[in-house]
């Protein structure tokens, strides 16, 4: 029964949906992994304490993950930043993003181990512009 449900879900994911001018809809497992990880990291990204200019700074970090879903803290690095890009703002925005990744990991992010090659390396962009005062 579960297998039949799973197969149906998979078919739903991989079957192009009919559409008009907007083209086809295709959702890949990478899309789902992306959504899942976003859901799990976002609750730990505390933007309240950041200065307005740090909130306006968009940072992208890279992190390597263990098969158990643990971010390797020593691999977290800042890839790029955009926005006002004052060094202090970038440092604060990066620190908050880094804390979010590490804090929400808990005993490891709940991601499918068989897909680990797809999430072993992750790049996360943190854009708090929706929160800018």
Partner 1 sequence: MLTRRSLIRSTAALTLASSLPLVPARAQTGPLRLEITEGVIEPLPFAVPRFIARNGGAADAAADITRVIAADLRGTGLFRQIPESAHISSVTAFDAPVQYNDWQAINAQALIVGEVEESGGRLIVRFRLFDVFSQQPLGEGLQFVGPREGWRRMAHNVADQVYERITGEGGYFDTRVVFIHEEGPKNARLKRLAIMDYDGANVQFLTDSRSLVLAPRFSPTGDRIIYTSYESGQPRVYLMDVATVTRRPLEAISAGDMSFSPRFTPDGGSVVFSMAQGGNTDIFRVSVGGGARTQLTSAPSIETAPSFSPDGSQMVFESDRTGGQQIYVMPAGGGEPQRISRGTGRYGTPVWSPRGDYIAFTKQEAGRFHIGVMRTNGSEERLLTASFLDEGPTWAPNGRVLMFTRETAGADGAPAVYSVDISGRNLQRVATPGMASDPSWSPRLT
For residue 117, give both structure tokens. 């090659």
Under the criterion CB under 8 A, does residue 23 sit at the interface with partner 1?
no
What's the closest the beta carbon of residue 68 comes to partner 1, in angstroms?
A: 15
Q: Which residues contact 65 (CB under 8 A, 6 or more apart)?
A: 71, 72, 109, 111, 116, 119, 120, 121, 122
Choice from 56, 69, 81, 122 touching partner 1 (CB under 8 A): 122
Choice from 70, 78, 84, 102 touching partner 1 (CB under 8 A): 102
For residue 77, give both structure tokens. 């690095």
Choice from 69, 83, 109, 126 touching partner 1 (CB under 8 A): 126
Residues in the chain: 133
Under the criterion CB under 8 A, does residue 35 sit at the interface with partner 1?
yes
Under 8 Å between Cβ of 61 and 101 = yes
As a whole number of angstroms, the distance between CA 45 and CA 99 comes to 7
Under the criterion CB under 8 A, does residue 4 sit at the interface with partner 1?
no
Considering only residues 72-91, where is the footprint of partner 1 by CB under 8 A?
73, 88-89, 91
As a whole number of angstroms, the distance between CA 59 and CA 78 comes to 7
Q: Which residues bind partner 1 (CB under 8 A)?
A: 2-3, 5-7, 9-10, 12-14, 17-18, 25, 27-39, 41-54, 62, 73, 88-89, 91-92, 95, 98-100, 102-103, 112, 114-115, 117-119, 121-131, 133
């Amino acid at each position: 029964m579960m297998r039949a449900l799973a197969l149906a879900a998979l078919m739903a994911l991989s079957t192009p949906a009919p559409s008009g001018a907007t083209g086809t809809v295709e959702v890949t497992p990478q899309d789902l992994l992306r959504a899942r990880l976003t859901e799990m990291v976002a609750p730990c990204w505390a933007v309240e304490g950041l200065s307005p200019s740090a909130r306006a700074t968009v940072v992208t970090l890279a992190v390597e993950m263990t098969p158990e879903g643990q971010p390797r803290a020593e691999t977290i690095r800042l890839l790029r930043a955009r926005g006002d890009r004052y060094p202090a703002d970038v440092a604060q925005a990066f620190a908050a993003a880094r804390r979010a990744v590490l804090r929400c990991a808990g005993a490891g992010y709940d991601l499918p181990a068989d897909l680990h090659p797809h999430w072993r390396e992750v790049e996360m962009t943190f854009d708090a512009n929706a929160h800018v005062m």
